[in-house]
Structure 1
Amino acid sequence: MATLLRIDSSPMGAASVSRHMSETFVESWKKAHPGGTVVTRDLTKSGLVSINAEWVAAAYTPAESRTAEQKAALATSDELLAEIDAADELAIGVSMHNFNIPSVLKLWVDQVVRVNRAFSYADGKPKGLLMGKKATFLVATGGAYGPGSGMESLNFIEPYLKTLFGFVGFGDVVFHTAGGAMALNYGADRAEFLQPHDEAVAALAAAHA
Structure 2
Amino acid sequence: MKLLHVDSSVLGANSVSRRLTANAVADWVATHPGTEVEYLDLAVAAPSHFDADSLGFRLPEGTPLTDVQKRENAVSEQLVSQFLAADVIVVGAPLYNFSIPSQLKAWIDRLAQPGRTFKYTEKGPTGLATGKAVIVVSTRGGIYSTSEAGQAAEHQESYLQVVFGFFGITDVRFVRAEGLAMGDQQKAQALEAAAGDIRRAATEAANQGSAVAVA
Question: Is the Cα contact below 8 Å between 1:95 and 1:139 reproduced in 2?
Answer: yes
1:17 Cα shift? 1.3
Return closer, same or farther for 1:37/1:153 CA change in 2, 3 Å cut-off.
Answer: same
Return closer, same or farther for 1:131/1:193 CA change in 2, 3 Å cut-off.
Answer: closer
The alignment status of 1:200 with 2:204, answered yes or no, reads no
Report the equivalent of 2:34. 35
Report the equivalent of 1:45. 44
Report the equivalent of 1:169. 168
Q: Distance in 1 between matches of 2:186 and 2:44?
A: 29
1:114 Cα shift? 1.5
Return closer, same or farther for 1:189/1:15 CA change in 2, 3 Å cut-off.
Answer: farther
The 5 Å alignment of 1:18-167 reads 18-62=17-61, 67=65, 69=67, 70-123=69-122, 125-148=124-147, 150-167=149-166
1:57 Cα shift? 3.9
- Secondary structure at the counterpart of residue 124 of structure 2: coil
Question: Is the Cα contact below 8 Å between 2:56 and 2:70 reproduced in 1?
Answer: no
Where is the helix percentage greater, Structure 1 or Structure 2?
1
Report the equivalent of 2:212. none
Q: Distance in 2 between matches of 1:139 and 1:196?
A: 12
1:51 Cα shift? 1.7
1:20 Cα shift? 1.2
Structure 2: runs of 5 or more not aligned: 207-215
Question: Is the Cα contact below 8 Å between 1:60 and 1:115 reproduced in 2?
Answer: no
1:159 Cα shift? 1.5
Q: Distance in 2 between matches of 1:206 and 1:76?
A: 35
1:50 Cα shift? 1.0
1:115 Cα shift? 1.9
Worse overlay, 186-195 or 32-41: 186-195
| Superposition TM-score, scaled by structure 2 size | 0.86
Q: Distance in 2 between matches of 1:175 and 1:193?
A: 14
Question: Is the Cα contact below 8 Å between 2:179 and 2:186 reproduced in 1?
Answer: no
CA-atom RMSD in angstroms: 2.1
Structure 1: runs of 5 or more not aligned: none
1:149-187 deviation per Cα after TM superposition (whole angstroms, max 9, x unaligned): 65222111121111111111111111121010113xx54
The alignment status of 1:5 with 2:4, answered yes or no, reads yes
Question: Is the Cα contact below 8 Å between 1:3 and 1:38 reproduced in 2?
Answer: yes
Query: Structure 1 counterpart of 2:198, which letter?
Result: V
| Superposition TM-score, scaled by structure 1 size | 0.89
Query: Structure 1 counterpart of 2:31, which letter?
Result: A
- Secondary structure at the counterpart of residue 38 of structure 1: strand
